[in-house]
Amino acid sequence: MHPPTVEDVARAAGVSRQTVSNVLNAPQRVRPETRQRVEAAIEQLGYRPNRVAQSLRAATSRMIGYRIEPMHPHALGSMHDRLLHALAEAGRAADHHLLLFTADDPLDEVANADALHRAGAIDGVVLYGIQSADPRPAGLRQLRIPFAAFGRTGADDAHPWVDIDNTAGTAAAVDHLVTREHRRIAFLGYPEGVAVGDRRADGWRTALDKHGLLDGSRHLDLRGEDSLATGARLAEALLDHHTPPTAVVAATDTLAAGVLRTVRQRHARLAVVGFDDTPTAGALDLSSVRQPIEAVGHAMIRALLGPGGNEPAGQLLAPELIVRASSALP
């Protein structure tokens, strides 16, 4: 009734346990004839190696911890879902699985990861939503828990991380809008001090400067919390300006959606480009900078498990601008 073990397979194939183990882990060491007999027995009994026993023996769980957060109340649909799927998919290829755990805050996350790690339940951890002054990297490093982070802190990160090139993303948005003959291009972003937000603002500023348009647009830089209401409100402010912009680069789709709301209400003309390419962007026909989350997932898993064992190297991935109707000519 219980699942078959190596023992059962061995008996069925008329060999010893070890030979079965060899067939699985060092096939070249076993005579083809014997191997086929063993393989037939494995097939017939439906044998699968017990991962728990493997883990105990190898002192390796092949599990990666991930803190699942309650959904961000304002976000239109975070990257969470996509990242989780990408990580699970990438992990599968490396024969690892994700183990979900909860935590009240970043410090609690480190504590819970430590407990799981010491209990042998996870080999390492993947960090999401890295903040400028994030306590988690230092905490995990001190506890010697392998990890990889999606995103960077403000400082130079001396641990494995993967990030998308936020600066390049907003720069691409600006380039695109310039091609479409826009000359006054605003930016809507996070309050200063949020690393991601600052990088996205940088891309906008740098690209405008490159096109010689910064002087005419420098004042069109508005910040606020990441919500639809804020996007709508800031858009009003932009449109009420005496030299209003003809286009806006928003730091998130949520802000961009707010802009679109105002634009429609006021029947204004204002091109918009968002960031993240959330499902909503498609629904609203919103041009948006898409993060290559699948690639991020693979890079994270590689950084965590890869050769050299969790080396402190960073990797920057290029986002891609998805052009839709919202970024038309002025």
CA–CA separation, 198 vs 191, rounded Å?
A: 8
Q: Which is nearer to DNA, 56 or 107 (CB)?
A: 56
Q: How many residues bind a copy of itself, per CB under 8 A?
A: 56
CB of 275 to a copy of itself, least distance (A): 16
Could you tell me if 44 and 13 are in contact, meaning their C-beta atoms sit under 8 angstroms apart? no
Among 48, 156, 215, 240, binds a copy of itself (CB under 8 A): 48
- Rounded least distance, CB 13 to a copy of itself, Å: 19
**Burial status of residue 222 (CB atoms within 10 A of its CB: 0-12, 13-18, 19 or more):** buried
Contacts of 78 (CB under 8 A, 6+ apart): 71, 72, 278
* Residue 71 contacts a copy of itself per CB under 8 A: yes
16 binds, among a copy of itself, DNA, none (CB under 5 to 8 A by kind): DNA
Q: How far apart (Å, rounded) are the C-alpha atoms in residues 193 and 199? A: 10
Interface characters, 29-68, with DNA (x: CB under 7 A) = xxx-xxx-----------xxxx--xx-xxxx---------
Q: Does 16 bind a copy of itself (CB under 8 A)?
A: no
Indicate which single residue of 17, 51, 241, 290 sits in contact with a copy of itself (rule: CB under 8 A): 51
Within 160-285, strands assigned E span 161-164, 185-189, 221-223, 247-250, 271-275
Question: How far is 209 from 218, CA to CA, in rounded Å?
Answer: 10
Q: Which of 279, 278, 272, 289 is closest to 325 using CA atoms?
A: 272
Asked if 278 and 253 count as a contact pair (C-beta separation under 8 A), the reply is: yes
Query: Which CB sits closer to a copy of itself, 8 or 175?
Result: 8
d(CA 92, CA 74) in angstroms, rounded, equals 31
Give residues in contact with DNA (CB under 7 A). 2-3, 5-7, 15-19, 21-22, 24-26, 29-31, 33-35, 47-50, 53-54, 56-59
Give residues in contact with a copy of itself (CB under 8 A). 2-3, 46, 48-53, 55-56, 59, 61, 63, 66, 68-78, 80-82, 84-85, 88-89, 92, 97-102, 115, 118-121, 227-229, 254, 264-265, 279-280, 282-284
